């Protein structure tokens, strides 16, 4: 159920683009994201900071796209989002000596400090990579190619998350066996 909630805005965006155009798709994405956040709030009784940032950016860049009738705004939103995430994680860990991932997930996962640091570094690299890849596609390909990339580009986060899970699995302490 949760995975459907996570993916339905991009699927609706893709479908609206294929049936209509980028502007209709942008409006659909904005509405679907508001609905998505409402569902998440109804289930969890809160929105994480990332949810709020995503919602604000989609509404901001979507509004600019629709009002100015310029698709560059919605296409640059992922670059801005991922770039900001990479920058925030890097400043926090190297400038302020705070590991945001550990602060957010430390109550759910017990991992050695070195593992938390490598996870944080992996997230910085991943976000910088995703920002750069989106920027490259925006600058060098058509809107149609970019929309297809948005849908099929979901392989990147899936591969990253599986890799992250495989990396941390040996470090997760399970229940001690009974003696």
Per-residue pLDDT of the chain (179 residues; tens, 9 = 90+): 676 788 889 899 999 999 999 999 999 999 999 999 999 999 999 998 888 998 999 999 999 999 999 999 999 999 999 999 999 999 999 999 999 989 888 888 889 999 999 999 999 999 999 999 999 999 999 999 999 998 888 888 889 999 999 999 998 875 445 45
Q: What pLDDT score does 49 carry?
A: 83
Q: What pLDDT score does 138 carry?
A: 97
Q: What pLDDT score does 40 carry?
A: 92
CA angle, 92 as apex, 105 and 116 as ends, to 5°? Answer: 40
**Sequence-separated (6 or more) residues with CB below 8 Å from residue 25:** 13, 14, 16, 17, 147
Q: Give the number of residues written for the chain.
A: 179
Q: What pLDDT score does 108 carry?
A: 83
Q: What pLDDT score does 155 carry?
A: 86
Reported pTM: 0.86
Q: What pLDDT score does 157 carry?
A: 87
**Spatial separation of the C-alpha atoms in residues 104 and 76, rounded to whole Å:** 27
Q: What pLDDT score does 174 carry?
A: 58
């Amino acid at each position: 159920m949760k995975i459907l909630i996570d993916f339905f805005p991009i699927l609706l965006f893709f479908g609206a683009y294929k049936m209509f155009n980028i502007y209709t798709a942008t409006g659909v994405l904005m509405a679907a994201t508001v609905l998505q956040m409402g569902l998440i709030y109804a289930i969890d009784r809160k929105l994480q900071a990332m949810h709020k940032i995503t919602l604000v950016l989609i509404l901001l860049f979507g509004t600019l796209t629709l009002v100015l009738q310029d698709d560059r705004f919605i296409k640059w939103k992922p670059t801005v989002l991922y770039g900001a995430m990479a920058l925030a994680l890097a400043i926090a860990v190297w400038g302020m000596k705070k590991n945001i991932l550990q602060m957010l997930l430390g109550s759910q996962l017990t991992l050695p400090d070195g593992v938390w640091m490598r996870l944080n570094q992996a997230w910085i690299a991943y976000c910088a990579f995703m920002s750069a890849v989106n920027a490259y596609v925006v600058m060098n390909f058509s809107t149609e190619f970019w929309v297809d990339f948005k849908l099929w580009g979901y392989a990147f986060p899936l591969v990253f998350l599986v890799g992250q899970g495989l990396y941390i699995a040996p470090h997760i302490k399970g229940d001690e066996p009974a003696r």
